Structure formats: C-alpha cells, structure tokens
Amino acid sequence: MQDLQQKIAAYEAEINAFQPTNAAELEAFRIQFLGTKGIVKEIFGEMKNVAGPQKKEAGLLLNAFKIAAESKYEAFVHLQGNSQNKEAKIDLTLPGTSIPLGTRHPLKMVENKMVSIFEKLGFSVATGPEVEDDWHNFTSLNMPENHTARDMQDTFYVASNPDWVLRTHTSSVQARMLEKGELPLRVICPGRVYRNETISARAHCFFHQCEGLYIDKGVSFADLKQTLYHFVTEMFGADTKVRFRPSYFPFTEPSAEMDISCTVCGGSGCNLCKHTGWVEILGCGMVHPNMLRNFGIDPEVYSGFAFGMGVERITQIKYQVNDLRLYSQNDLRFLRQFQSIE
C-alpha cells in the first residue's frame, strides 16, 4: 500500500506539471496515462498486491487518480477547441444559411381562388363574428324558434347565454350586411363555421364556408345560374359539366343543389363521386321573400340570389384530399405537398 501511494504521488505531480503546447503533445499525454496500455490501467493492476483490509482504501485512491488524469486531459481538449475556434477565419463572402420556404395552407389557397373569381364579378368581401346571436344565425334567416330547419344543424351554444351560438354558417354575415340597408348588395362571405358533429374522415366540428349574396332589382334565377357556371369554369375548367337539382333551404325559394361532373374519373364513376359521375359542391337559390321582409326590404321591388359552398369540399375535389382531419393536423408531410402550387 505504501509503495502504491508513492507511485500515485509521483504520477500526480507529473500530471499537474503537464502543459501541452500542441495537439501532438496532448495526444501523447492521453496515450501515456489513459491509453489501453497506459499508466492508469497499469496502476490499477497493482490492486492484486494490496492486502484485503486495505483494498477499499486503495480503490478510492486509484479512482481519484484516474479522475484527475481524465479531468486534466478533458480540460486541455476544451481549451484547445476554444483556441482553434478563435483562430478560425470567417469568410464573409460565403452565402448565408438558407431558410426553408413555407407555403399557404391548401384551404387558404382554395379560398383565395374562390374569392378572386367572385371579386372579378363585382362581389366584395364581407366578414363577421364567429360567435353570433340567435337572430342573425337563425331567426332572421327565416328560421324562427322551433322551426324544423334548426334540426338540420347541430349547434354549439354558449353556456353562459343560450341566445348566443358559434355560428353554423356564414349566412349570418349576409344577415348583418342586409340590416345595413345599403342596396344593391353583392358580397362574398368566407369564414370558419362550427357544428357539433363527431370528427371523422368525412365530418368535423369546424370547417370553412364561402357564401355569396346578390340583392338588386330584377335579379333572376338565370343570373344565379350564369354566375355559378362562370365559377365552375374558372375553378375546375371549361370542360366541367354542371347540373342543378331541386332542394330545400329555409332562406331561399326556389332552392337547388348544384353538381359538377367528377374531375377525377370524368363521369365514368369512382370513389369520389360514389360511382355516379357527379359531385355535389354547393347549395343555392333565390332569397326567400320572408328574409327580405325581416330586414325591411320590399320583395316586390327587390329580389336576389344566395349560394354557399364548403371550402374543404372544393379542396377535396381539386386536390383529391379524402380525409378532412388532414386540414387541421398540421402534418408537414401533408402541407409540404402544396409548396409548388400557387
């Protein structure tokens, strides 16, 4: 044990006096003390010569010696690295690190395209609150209390005041524009809406709509059809076929749903069109006289049309996105697919 203490003391003195001037000297120190055949490993072999009662004390002594050698080496490695960094020259002529480009969300790209088409027809953009009162969201749109049309929509009610809801459609924006009484009126209303539905690949508790309203003297269903024909041509191409089917909406009469020929199979039948060759994209109709009267507008003088479509639905048809949940999951693998589009 005494012999071991003398050896460690001598080696520690050598370690403390060590001052490398270059990388080669530092490497020589590592090999001498910490290498596979170095002093640390050699001196640990002396444990077999230590008497049993002294092995614990010898172990502590050897571990302290090993830690001291490793700490000395790591300290000089750190100092040498900092010294090299200080001496490194910076080439200011090199280009900077490029920043990856982002992209617009596919829903926003489609919404912007839809708005752009209608703006060229003279429609202006109107927006409104997402938390609405019962009057603007239901009653003024020809859906009085206990009207069966309210069952068509699963509504989120604000708990503190049941008269307030998360809007179920952007028709509430049309109502707010009508109450201003500024006629003629031609607006497009994009925005997010909410319905209490179970989230799945085909349904979500929130989605986006783009609704339009045109009120003036002498507006007819022919004006509505021509407006929507133009939209389909601009959005899906001139070869897209269109058909109208009778339907029901409380705030329009007559009402219709509009289908287009499937853009995937060309009408021959596929999963998107459920093998019918047609895909429904919007609902529309002539503004109901009761709705005009609710805002003090004489239906004998003024008439108009309204339409509404889901942005997710148009995006699904245009880019063949089959799962509505992808739009709100922020999955970069999905979003990066649209970097080269618009």
CA–CA distance, 29 with 72 (Å, rounded to integer): 10
**273, pLDDT greater than 90:** no
The strand pairing partners of 132, in sequence order, are 165
- Model confidence band, residue 76 (pLDDT cutoffs 50, 70, 90): confident
CA–CA distance, 194 with 130 (Å, rounded to integer): 9
Q: Could you tell me if residue 92 is inside a domain?
A: no
Strand arrangement of the beta sheet that strand 278-287 belongs to: 124-125, 185-194, 206-216, 303-310, 278-287, 252-261, 242-249
Q: Could you tell me if residue 95 is inside a domain?
A: no
The strand pairing partners of 302, in sequence order, are none
Calculate the CA 177 to chain-centre distance.
30
Instruction: Please indicate, yes or no, whether residues 231 and 323 belong to a single structural domain of this protein.
Output: yes
Least confident of 85-89, 134-138, 261-265: 85-89
Least confident of 43-52, 290-299, 331-340: 43-52
Q: Half-sphere exposure (CA, 13 Å, Cβ side) for 67? A: 6
Instruction: Please indicate, yes or no, whether residues 70 and 114 belong to a single structural domain of this protein.
Output: no
Its domain, for residue 236, covers 106-338
**342, pLDDT greater than 70:** no
- Rounded percentage of the chain residues whose pLDDT exceeds 70: 95
**Which pLDDT does position 89 carry in this prediction?**
65
Q: Could you tell me if residue 64 is inside a domain?
A: yes
> pLDDT by residue (tens digit) across 220-251?
999 999 999 999 999 999 989 999 999 999 99
Calculate the CA 153 to chain-centre distance.
26
**85, pLDDT greater than 70:** no
The strand pairing partners of 307, in sequence order, are 212, 284
**pLDDT (mean) for 277-305:** 94
**Which pLDDT does position 32 carry in this prediction?**
79
- Name the residue with tokens 């007559």: 254
Instruction: Please indicate, yes or no, whether residues 54 and 119 belong to a single structural domain of this protein.
Output: no
- Show Cβ contacts of residue 288 under 8 Å, excluding neighbours closer than 6 positions: 142, 250, 251, 252, 253
- Show Cβ contacts of residue 80 under 8 Å, excluding neighbours closer than 6 positions: 20, 23, 26
- Model confidence band, residue 80 (pLDDT cutoffs 50, 70, 90): low
Instruction: Please indicate, yes or no, whether residues 76 and 224 belong to a single structural domain of this protein.
Output: no
Q: Could you tell me if residue 96 is inside a domain?
A: no
Instruction: Please indicate, yes or no, whether residues 211 and 75 belong to a single structural domain of this protein.
Output: no
| Averaged pLDDT of the chain | 86
**190, pLDDT greater than 80:** yes
**159, pLDDT greater than 80:** no
Judge contact between 330 and 103, C-beta under 8 A.
Answer: no
Based on its alpha-carbon atoms, the radius of gyration of the chain, rounded to whole angstroms, reads 38
Instruction: Please indicate, yes or no, whether residues 180 and 39 belong to a single structural domain of this protein.
Output: no
**91, pLDDT greater than 80:** no
Angle at 217 between CA 214 and CA 219, to 5 degrees: 55
115, 235, 341 from 109: Cα distances, Å: 10, 12, 9
